[in-house]
A and B are shown apart, each in its own frame.
Chain A
């Protein structure tokens, strides 16, 4: 049953490419606002976006967007915008021509479409290149052209596949603000990114995919609560740390130590006891400690925890 706020609903969704698994048994409901789609390479992020946009037909299960079947429906596409990962552009056309004609295909008159295209191009900060041919643009600018065609008709649902890749920091900052603005206006945005830090800045809701399976879904803070184990990791940077590692292993609460490039990562069952013990340990020997910090509970560490450190 679709909840009141869910715009996109998938039920037991699977997609196979011959013998290769794209997506397996993904059931999720995506409400309004920004949702991040996290996963390593070949996790099935693009496949999921293509299934939601109706470009691919599910091998099993179903996808409903605004209550309509994604593959067979056409009406929901008035509300849909997709910025694909692949460069799907006509190189010999100008930015304005390309965005205008695609906007026209949403049922607008050529005049309306041109106006909307100009607004969208302005939004992605490409106005100064509006009459330039696409083949002459840089990768970041082409990315903006793809985004402009996706937002020109003011869609209620926006699917963004690695949209910030190739953009410079200023443009990235501006686009993030644009996505926040669209989400506040009631849009549903599903965004994939390899850069988890960027994703964390955009949203607190994530869907984590790993090898085609959905392994977590929800707010980052809630997922972090589930992964309490993470809290008990302390990173120590400095010199002569192998000796410290040997000393630490004699304590019962220490469950493991990882030797890292700049220091060591200590796993403990009792974070408090460990913290109290540290000053005594450091006064006994000259360890030359540069930095001690608990492993931050950011999206990246959560992702590593969720996928079991295999990536």
Chain B
């Protein structure tokens, strides 16, 4: 246990000397700025949709009828986002689904690779600690760093949106989603970072798979972590659509993904040979 805690401390040393960590701490406050913007201009927190004559609600809408350039009539429907929706969407789309995704991508993929480059990983390998402990402590250090980065902006957004009369249940549910999201992203990026050029592989995965490909088909979405995080968030605010998984199904999938990636990562790390020459 003593060895594990010392290894964990060493890994925090490494994470906090990484220049990306401070950069992501700063960037993580951007959604808070957006939140402040919505507080100043509440009319901006609304979505406008087109409703066509074949839709049931068309005749009840009070807005004037307009036509598309090809002559099809429609009416505009404006929906104001409630506080719960603003909090969930900002904290998911901005903070977890973008900033933390790319933050953990950089930190996670460099957690091992950079230590190999610097040669400091050999200092760990020379101590009487087994490699499993080193890998697990790296994963935990990364997850805790991700949570530490997210916690303050999340709390700030919560109090800005709900002020003192906020529903703390939604806050804790969101923290639960964050824990699962950070855990699964950390386990994936830590694993990718073990290999040469890990940072580039991780960026490709984060950008093209987690961020872009999921927007193409519903089937592809099911293979991305972001889909399950999105499902959890939208189930939380009661806006889950057909293709999304339920809150607990998504949570189960994320726990499984994290577990499999950690086990797979430990097995590889235990046998992998790193060159420190």
Q: Which residues of A contact B (CB under 8 A)?
A: 17, 46-47, 50, 53-57, 74-75, 77-78, 80-82, 84, 86-93, 101-102, 104-107, 109, 149
Residue of B6, B17, B275 most packed against chain A (CB within 10 A): B6
Pick from A57, A82, A107: contact of B3, CB below 8 A.
A107
Residue of B2, B9, B123 most packed against chain A (CB within 10 A): B123
How many contacting A-B pairs (Cβ < 8 A)? 77
Pick from B7, B10, B120: contact of A88, CB below 8 A.
B120
> Within residues 41 to 86 of chain B, which ones have a CB less than 8 A from any CB in chain A?
none
Check A88–B3 contact: CB distance below 8 A: no
Distance, CA A158 to CA B6, complexed state (A): 23
Pick from B3, B17, B130, B276: contact of A55, CB below 8 A.
B276
B277 surroundings in chain A (CB, below 8 A): 46-47, 50, 86
Task: Report the minimum CB–CB distance from B57 to chain A (whole Å).
Answer: 61
Check A88–B122 contact: CB distance below 8 A: yes
Q: Which residues of B contact A (CB under 8 A)?
A: 2-3, 6-7, 9-10, 13-14, 17, 118-120, 122-130, 273-277
Chain A interface secondary structure, helix, strand, loop or mixed? loop
A105 surroundings in chain B (CB, below 8 A): 3, 6-7, 10, 124, 127-129
Task: Report the minimum CB–CB distance from B133 to chain A (whole Å).
Answer: 9
Check A102–B125 contact: CB distance below 8 A: no
Check A88–B119 contact: CB distance below 8 A: yes
Pick from B120, B126, B275: contact of A82, CB below 8 A.
B126
Closest to A149 in B: B123
Distance, CA A81 to CA B122, complexed state (A): 11
A82 surroundings in chain B (CB, below 8 A): 122, 126
Distance, CA A107 to CA B129, complexed state (A): 9
A-B contact pairs, 26 of them (CB 8 A): A46-B277, A47-B277, A54-B125, A54-B126, A56-B275, A57-B273, A74-B129, A74-B130, A77-B128, A78-B128, A82-B122, A84-B119, A84-B122, A86-B277, A87-B119, A88-B119, A88-B122, A90-B14, A90-B17, A90-B118, A91-B17, A93-B17, A101-B13, A104-B6, A105-B124, A106-B128
Pick from A50, A57, A101, A107: contact of B10, CB below 8 A.
A101
Question: Do A93 and B276 form a contact, CB below 8 Å, given A74-B128, A77-B126?
Answer: no
Task: Report the minimum CB–CB distance from B23 to chain A (whole Å).
Answer: 16
Distance, CA A75 to CA B129, complexed state (A): 9
Distance, CA A93 to CA B118, complexed state (A): 14
Closest to A75 in B: B128
Task: Report the minimum CB–CB distance from B243 to chain A (whole Å).
Answer: 46
Task: Report the minimum CB–CB distance from A62 to chain B (whole Å).
Answer: 15
Q: Which 8 A-B pairs have the closest CB atoms?
A: A88-B119, A105-B127, A77-B128, A104-B6, A86-B119, A78-B128, A92-B17, A57-B273
